[in-house]
Structure formats: C-alpha cells, structure tokens
Amino acid sequence: MTLVAMARPEPVVDFATRAPKADATGLPLYTVQVAAMFGDQGEVLAVKVAGEPAGITAGLPVQLAGLVAQPWELGERSGIAYRATAIRPYTAPSAVLEIFRAEFEGALAEGGLFVLTMHPHIIGHRSRIAILEELIRYMKGMPGVWFATHAEVARYCKATA
C-alpha cells in the first residue's frame, strides 16, 4: 500500500468557536488528507494527529504510526474516524542506510564517537533491521573501529583523561 499526503496538515478547529482543538495532553490536533492506494483502488483518509507533523506537503509519500480506525455514528450519518500517533515523510531504507553511513564516516574522520540510537518504532521494521545489519558489516570492515558498551567508553575516557 502506498500512502501519499494530499495537502499540508490543517489545524482541527471547533465548529462553533473556530478555536483550535487539542488532545488530552494539550497538543494541538491536525488533520492530514492521506491517499491510501493499493493496486487499482484507493481511498482518501482524513487522519488526525496530535502535534503539527513536520515536513508534510502535498504529493509526499508518508508513513503513519499507530493508525487506529474508529467507527462513528451520529443520527443518520456514520463513518470511520482515523487517528495516528505520528505522520512523517516516508524515508526509503536505502536512504536511511546512506544517512547512517555518512554519520559514521564523519565520526570516523574526526576520530570521534559514533552512537546510533535505535527507537523501536523507527528501526523495528524488517527493511530497517536489514540496513542495520549491513551498516554493522560495513563498520566492522573499517580499520581501527571499536565496538564498545557505554561502560567501556566511560572507562576509556576516564583512563585517558
């Protein structure tokens, strides 16, 4: 399935007062019109998200995290309300690998420390695990690279300071 933003995020406003609506934590709500296309079919979904999604423009492929579909009914009318925990631009796994490699190469050239933080909702996809494995193979092939725990790095810094 391909997901494409159809427009920039729009603030959700109260129908009567036109005041911006917020979620329970106080974050402003936004709606993004997203075309969900699969095979020769498609549908446009109005997806609400708390907090303004960054970098979303019309025609941009997107990723939806934590998408929930909630049926609703009001008198004779009914439908499905869509809510996501996040909407972000889609980044191809090959581009992610390129970014990780560039960061590692920059740290290596400076003789510095490369720390890669892995958030489960970002790295926890099959394609991303494969690029992580490829990155580790690449890094192991570079001379002078040391894989260490935080504790080992701390001991090294203390000993050489």
In the beta sheet, which residues pair with residue 42?
37
Rg (CA), the chain: 22
Q: Which of 57, 89, 121 is the last residue of a domain?
A: 89
**SS3 state of residue 52:** coil
pLDDT of residue 67: 95
Q: What would the pLDDT profile of 32-55 be if each residue is shown by its tens digit?
A: 999 999 888 999 999 999 999 999
pLDDT of residue 122: 65
| Judgement on whether residues 83 and 98 belong to the same structural domain of the protein | no
Does the pLDDT of residue 131 top 70, yes or no?
A: yes
The number of folded domains in the chain is 2
Domain with 14 in it: 2-89
Does the pLDDT of residue 125 top 80, yes or no?
A: no
| Judgement on whether residues 126 and 156 belong to the same structural domain of the protein | yes
Least confident of 6-10, 95-99, 145-149: 95-99
| Judgement on whether residues 108 and 59 belong to the same structural domain of the protein | no
CA distance 49 to 21: 11
| Judgement on whether residues 30 and 65 belong to the same structural domain of the protein | yes
Nearest alpha carbon to residue 116 among 74, 105, 127: 105
Helices marked H in the chain: 93-110, 120-123, 126-140, 150-160
| Judgement on whether residues 122 and 59 belong to the same structural domain of the protein | no
Q: Model pTM? A: 0.64
Q: Please, are residues 30 and 78 in contact by the beta-carbon 8 Å criterion?
A: no
Q: How confident is the model at residue 12 (pLDDT cuts 50, 70, 90)?
A: very high
Average confidence (pLDDT) over 145-156: 93
Does the pLDDT of residue 76 top 70, yes or no?
A: yes
| Judgement on whether residues 97 and 120 belong to the same structural domain of the protein | yes
Q: Which of 89, 124, 150 is the last residue of a domain?
A: 89
For residue 44, the domain's CATH number is 2.40.50.140
**Higher pLDDT residue, 84 or 94?**
84
CA distance 36 to 13: 24
